[in-house]
A and B are shown apart, each in its own frame.
Chain A
Amino acid sequence: MLSPSSGNTVIKSKLIGRRMFLLTAAKTVVLVGIVGRLVSLQINERKKYKTLSDKNRFREWKLAPERGVIKDFFDKEIASNEQVYQVHLIPENSKDIEKLFVRLKTILNITDKKLFFLKKIIAKQKPWEPIIVSDNITWSEFSRLNLFLHELEGVKPVVSVARTYPDNSSAHILGYVSQVSAKDLQTKTYLKELHVPGMSIGKTGLERKLDQEIIGKIGFQRYEVNAFGKRIKQIQVNEGQAGKSFKTTLDFEVQKFTSELLKDKAAAVCVMDVYNGDIISLVSSPTFEPNEFVHGLDKKYWNSLLKDKMRPLTNKTISGLYPPGSTIKTLVALSALENGVIKPLDTFRCKGKIELYGEKFHCWEKEGHGIVNLRKGIQRSCDVYFYEVARKLGVDRLYETAKKFGLGKKVLSGFIEERAGVVPNTKWKKKFIGQNWYLGETLHSGIGQGYFQSTPLQLCLMTAQIANGGFEIKPRILFDKKNNNLRDYIKYKNENPNEPLPTDLLISNFELKPLFKNQEHINLIKDAMFSSSNEPGGTSYRHRWENKKFTFAGKTGSSQIKRFTEAQREAEVKQESLPYKDRDHALFVAYAPYDDPKYAISVLVEHGGSGGKAAAPIAKKVIKKVLERHDLRQRVNSLIGETI
């Protein structure tokens, strides 16, 4: 009994051993497989998985930098930053969000619509992500909130910084800031690196032009986050860098003064230093409230801006296009002199109208001006004189001169809203209208009507370049210490035409480009402009300054909106009796003081009627204001010169 059983056991043992051997072989294969997998994951692909692990682990929150401020010439902040009080809420920290909102409503001024909106956001995002309940509450609300904070679990009072504009007089040139839109992200490449959710960017004007530098460098907070996205600890902080601040050439006092003058009118004023092109003032009216744009615009307000016939959102100084009207006559005369078409004392007889191939061309003075020479032509703004001059000159030669003086092209850089306008010539008409030029159109061009389109800033530049003796200047709005002594240079050159320059003038590296062939021609135009403003019979004689300190020389203009019919002309219809939208635009350009030109000005009043009546009185007041502040400006200039 024992032996078979033990024999059985031996056979069994051998069988078991054999099969175990097979299993051991299989195990070895599996083990090698596992080691192989470890090699592939932990050695061959460790970089890939390391990256994936870090991607899991770290998350960055960007911090919006403080926007740089914009100052005027006297270092007054015209676009600054203010502390704003905000209410943030972390839903996770609140036990009962419904109750919290009810309580918040009693403390803050929140509408039901806003509450509904907030609840929608809360439902969408993670419970530990803060939402902004209100981004701008008053100090009294803020202090009340802090008082009841112990009842408001989850609510966080936050002091932040936002754009603020002390005054809306410069709203157009400064522009405004507002939340980044989806379109901004697509079109503005610099935002790819600079964008922080909730950040404001410049939408128009200087704010937009300077956006890239004024935003600053964005900071970030790098956090380690867990699988649910909750921040565990801060790894790294970079505060970023506040944006660069900019100093402009604008005079905030003049801006405010001018803005007040233009109130309730659709109008624009530009003032420029005739030597260095510094823009002292650039006001468009009516204006809008730029602060309204910072914290989310009210729809009602936005609609009212859009519907307003006076177009408050348009910067009329650089985006408004108007026929230059009689203000162009200075250039027509200059072009004719330069091209030798007329002599200053050549005369024409004005009988109130001329006829050309059966078409009648009227002078604004129905009775006619009689015998008219260049000086009188400009002084009285005689249309017939300029019809004759233009006919002799031809539109293509006028085109050359007008272009040289800055019409028909953008004069500033970086303002997307700026428009170039039109200086017509025969080629232009062929290209854009597809027709040949008619001589009659030359006559219209001679008095700044027809196809001519220009911005008030272009007219101001044109006047400044006549005023400084015919030298090219580049208008600028950002302060630049360069070119401050162009004025001395021109003066020296005028007084000592044949002598070499003194060294201190040589050092400054500016280009001096004369726009004339003979400076005498420029002086003739300046003299004629003087007579227009300061001699009886001149178109703006009534609005002259007797005080020599403020005496200006100017040229009126009115740009026609609708051609007068023969019947209206016969009935001597007055501008005031026409419907508002049919009235002429009133224009006036001038420089002052006459004997030592410092500033040039252009004034436009939309549908204001005649330039002499509507625009010149405004120019008169602004000129006085600007000249009164001239000494102060010079002092600041010399101070800056010393510190450099």
Chain B
Amino acid sequence: MFRARSIQSSLSIKDKFLSLDYLLIFSIFILGLVSILAMYSTDGGEFKYHTKSHILRFFIFFGMFLVLSFIQIRFWHSQSYLIYILCFILLLGVKYFGLTSSGSKRWLDLYFMNLQPSELMKIGLILFLAKYYHRISIENINQIRFLFLPIVVLIAPLILVATQPDLGTALLIAAGGLTVAWLAGVRVKFFAFSGLAFLALLPIAISFLKPYQKSRILTFLNPERDPLGAGYQIIQSKIAIGSGGLFGKGFLQGSQSYLDYLPEKHTDFIFTLFSEEFGFFGSLFILFLYAIIVWRIVKIGNLTRSSFGKLYCYSFATAFFIYVVVNMMMVLGLLPIVGSPLPIMSYGGSSMMAIMLGLGIVMSCKVYKDTPVN
């Protein structure tokens, strides 16, 4: 205990600054700038509402990310359960006081912004489970009674989010939680069993799906089923990306997007827009930036000595990776349209806030990598 404290107190402000991961910060910053360019293009080459608000959010949350980096890892560890519970309460709040938009109830009106608690839950669940598996000993991990709590904390928010309805976010939250459990060493057979159970429950789940969700899955299987209806988004997105070619149509020249053939271009289809305007090489550049970010987070996980830090960093890196690839596969026509934003690039305050919060915790793992959490 004493030694730990001495290590911690030996860190000067200068040391803290030096121990920041500048490559990670730089990559995030560049990605932020790219996202501003893309947003500027969705506004038709003018500084309109979306661009302005995106710039504001990016810099606010980027600042928040830097500030959070200096908060001790011990704080995040100790407050993990509380953060999860807070997120859960907010989700409950959505259920009763939420704003409804285009058929689903996802937002809380906080006057200065509309908060989407399901985005925060992505981080909250990872934190909770990272702490949980940090605390229990390795022998207990695969004991049934120790599996009970994780299942509950996983399922409870899932039900709330899926019934908003927001199937995409629910699945992404689940992906983060399952990653922690997997990394902590939960046996493959438990995943296999729950997978089987999931399959068994699937018909029941499908009966709960809204008609538009069913049609999305059918459309994914055959986009030409209804080219003007449900298949329209996938077809137009593929046309936009494909017509971008090697070098793209040029900045602000994406005809598919500015002529409104592209749906949801600010949010889910922002990658499509960028890919149309900057082509194959532009797309590779974005992929490269994301790869660096994931790589740096994993690297920080490697450096961190605490299991909590490792679990958190690895899980967050994996979840982050999943968010990115699910969005890209979706716009490339490899997955059904489920509605998931592309981290940092997509327009949306809550998503930006959650990602920056997650990255801030990662960075604090870096700064306090040698500090025990308890």
Q: Is A15 an interface residue (CB 8 A)?
A: yes
Distance between B56 CB and nearest chain A CB, rounded to angstroms: 29
Q: Is A508 an interface residue (CB 8 A)?
A: no
Provide the bound-state CA to CA distance between A371 and B1, in Å: 157
Q: Is A309 an interface residue (CB 8 A)?
A: no
* Binary contact readout A1-37 vs B (1 if CB under 8 angstroms, 0 otherwise): 0000000110111011101100110010011011101
Provide the bound-state CA to CA distance between A38 and B287, in Å: 11
* Binary contact readout A34-58 vs B (1 if CB under 8 angstroms, 0 otherwise): 1101110111011011101110110
Q: Which of B25-33, B93-101, B240-248, B356-364 lies on the face that meets chain A?
A: B240-248
Provide the bound-state CA to CA distance between A184 and B336, in Å: 48
Residues of chain A with a CB closer than 8 A to B325's CB = 30-31, 34
Distance between A553 CB and nearest chain B CB, rounded to angstroms: 77
* A226 contacts B332, C-beta separation under 8 Å: no
Distance between A231 CB and nearest chain B CB, rounded to angstroms: 11
A residues apposed to B, CB below 8 Å: 8-9, 11-13, 15-17, 19-20, 23-24, 27, 30-31, 33-35, 37-39, 41-43, 45-46, 48-50, 52-54, 56-57, 224-228, 232
* A46 contacts B246, C-beta separation under 8 Å: yes
A-B contact pairs, 9 of them (CB 8 A): A15-B184, A16-B183, A34-B325, A34-B329, A38-B283, A39-B280, A42-B242, A50-B242, A50-B243
Residues of chain B with a CB closer than 8 A to A31's CB = 287, 291, 325
* B314 contacts A16, C-beta separation under 8 Å: yes
Q: Is B275 an interface residue (CB 8 A)?
A: yes
Provide the bound-state CA to CA distance between A224 and B261, in Å: 12
* Binary contact readout B259-303 vs A (1 if CB under 8 angstroms, 0 otherwise): 111000000000000010001100110010001001000100110
Provide the bound-state CA to CA distance between A20 and B329, in Å: 22
Number of interface residues of B (CB under 8 A): 47
Distance between A6 CB and nearest chain B CB, rounded to angstroms: 10
Known: A56-B236, A57-B255, A226-B259. 6 other contacts (CB 8 A): A12-B138, A16-B183, A17-B310, A19-B183, A38-B241, A46-B244
* A226 contacts B260, C-beta separation under 8 Å: yes
Q: A20-B301, A31-B287, A31-B325 are known contacts. Are A13 and B255 too (CB-CB below 8 A)?
A: no
Distance between A434 CB and nearest chain B CB, rounded to angstroms: 61
Provide the bound-state CA to CA distance between A39 and B238, in Å: 12
Residues of chain A with a CB closer than 8 A to B284's CB = 35, 38
Provide the bound-state CA to CA distance between A8 and B279, in Å: 50
B316-359: which have CB < 8 Å to A? 318, 321, 325, 328-329, 332-334
Nearest chain-A residue to B245 (Cβ)? A46
Distance between A97 CB and nearest chain B CB, rounded to angstroms: 25
Provide the bound-state CA to CA distance between A31 and B325, in Å: 8
Residues of chain B with a CB closer than 8 A to A53's CB = 239-240, 242-243, 255-256
* A41 contacts B238, C-beta separation under 8 Å: yes
Distance between A222 CB and nearest chain B CB, rounded to angstroms: 14
Provide the bound-state CA to CA distance between A35 and B325, in Å: 11
* Choice from B185, B239, B275 contacting A56 with Cβ under 8 Å: B239
* B318 contacts A42, C-beta separation under 8 Å: no
Residues of chain A with a CB closer than 8 A to B287's CB = 31, 34-35
B239, B291, B302, B332: most-surrounded residue (chain A CB, <10 A): B239
Q: Is B36 an interface residue (CB 8 A)?
A: no
* A43 contacts B280, C-beta separation under 8 Å: yes
* B332 contacts A13, C-beta separation under 8 Å: no
* A50 contacts B291, C-beta separation under 8 Å: no
B residues apposed to A, CB below 8 Å: 137-138, 179, 182-185, 236, 238-246, 255-256, 259-261, 275, 279-280, 283-284, 287, 291, 294, 298, 301-302, 305-307, 310-311, 314, 318, 321, 325, 328-329, 332-334
A48, A54, A227: most-surrounded residue (chain B CB, <10 A): A227
Nearest chain-A residue to B256 (Cβ)? A53
* B182 contacts A27, C-beta separation under 8 Å: no
* A19 contacts B185, C-beta separation under 8 Å: yes
* A228 contacts B138, C-beta separation under 8 Å: no
Q: A31-B287, A53-B243 are known contacts. Are A13 and B138 too (CB-CB below 8 A)?
A: no
Provide the bound-state CA to CA distance between A15 and B310, in Å: 11
* A27 contacts B321, C-beta separation under 8 Å: yes
Distance between B280 CB and nearest chain A CB, rounded to angstroms: 4
Residues of chain B with a CB closer than 8 A to A30's CB = 321, 325
Describe A's contact surface by its main secondary structure.
helix
Nearest first, the 4 A-B pairs at minimum CB distance are A49-B242, A53-B243, A227-B260, A42-B280
Q: A46-B246, A56-B261 are known contacts. Are A16 and B185 too (CB-CB below 8 A)?
A: yes
Provide the bound-state CA to CA distance between A38 and B318, in Å: 22
Distance between B237 CB and nearest chain A CB, rounded to angstroms: 10
Residues of chain A with a CB closer than 8 A to B242's CB = 41-42, 45-46, 48-50, 52-53
Distance between B4 CB and nearest chain A CB, rounded to angstroms: 11
Q: A38-B332, A43-B246, A52-B239 are known contacts. Are A57 and B307 too (CB-CB below 8 A)?
A: no
Nearest chain-B residue to A30 (Cβ)? B325
* A13 contacts B310, C-beta separation under 8 Å: yes
Distance between A85 CB and nearest chain B CB, rounded to angstroms: 35
* A11 contacts B138, C-beta separation under 8 Å: yes
A42, A225, A228, A232: most-surrounded residue (chain B CB, <10 A): A42
Residues of chain B with a CB closer than 8 A to A35's CB = 284, 287
Nearest chain-B residue to A15 (Cβ)? B185
* B294 contacts A27, C-beta separation under 8 Å: yes
Provide the bound-state CA to CA distance between A35 and B284, in Å: 8
Provide the bound-state CA to CA distance between A15 and B184, in Å: 7
* B307 contacts A24, C-beta separation under 8 Å: no
A13, A39, A228: most-surrounded residue (chain B CB, <10 A): A13
* B241 contacts A12, C-beta separation under 8 Å: no
* Choice from B137, B260, B321 contacting A228 with Cβ under 8 Å: B260
* B183 contacts A20, C-beta separation under 8 Å: yes
Q: A34-B329, A43-B246, A49-B241 are known contacts. Are A20 and B298 too (CB-CB below 8 A)?
A: yes
Nearest chain-B residue to A11 (Cβ)? B138
Provide the bound-state CA to CA distance between A13 and B369, in Å: 14
* Choice from B241, B301, B302, B310 contacting A41 with Cβ under 8 Å: B241
B275, B298, B307: most-surrounded residue (chain A CB, <10 A): B307
Distance between B189 CB and nearest chain A CB, rounded to angstroms: 15
* B179 contacts A224, C-beta separation under 8 Å: no
Residues of chain B with a CB closer than 8 A to A49's CB = 238-243
Distance between A29 CB and nearest chain B CB, rounded to angstroms: 11
Provide the bound-state CA to CA distance between A11 and B245, in Å: 49
Residues of chain A with a CB closer than 8 A to B307's CB = 9, 12-13, 16
* Choice from A9, A42, A225 contacting B279 with Cβ under 8 Å: A42
Residues of chain A with a CB closer than 8 A to B311's CB = 16
Residues of chain A with a CB closer than 8 A to B183's CB = 16, 19-20, 23
Nearest chain-B residue to A24 (Cβ)? B298
* B328 contacts A34, C-beta separation under 8 Å: yes
A30, A54, A224: most-surrounded residue (chain B CB, <10 A): A30
Provide the bound-state CA to CA distance between A504 and B224, in Å: 75
Distance between B137 CB and nearest chain A CB, rounded to angstroms: 6
* Choice from A16, A33, A39 contacting B184 with Cβ under 8 Å: A16
A20, A37, A43, A227: most-surrounded residue (chain B CB, <10 A): A20
* B259 contacts A57, C-beta separation under 8 Å: yes
Provide the bound-state CA to CA distance between A46 and B239, in Å: 9
Distance between B244 CB and nearest chain A CB, rounded to angstroms: 6
* B246 contacts A34, C-beta separation under 8 Å: no
Nearest chain-A residue to B306 (Cβ)? A9
Nearest chain-A residue to B184 (Cβ)? A16
Residues of chain A with a CB closer than 8 A to B241's CB = 38, 41-42, 49
* Choice from B259, B280, B302 contacting A227 with Cβ under 8 Å: B259
B242, B259, B287, B310: most-surrounded residue (chain A CB, <10 A): B242
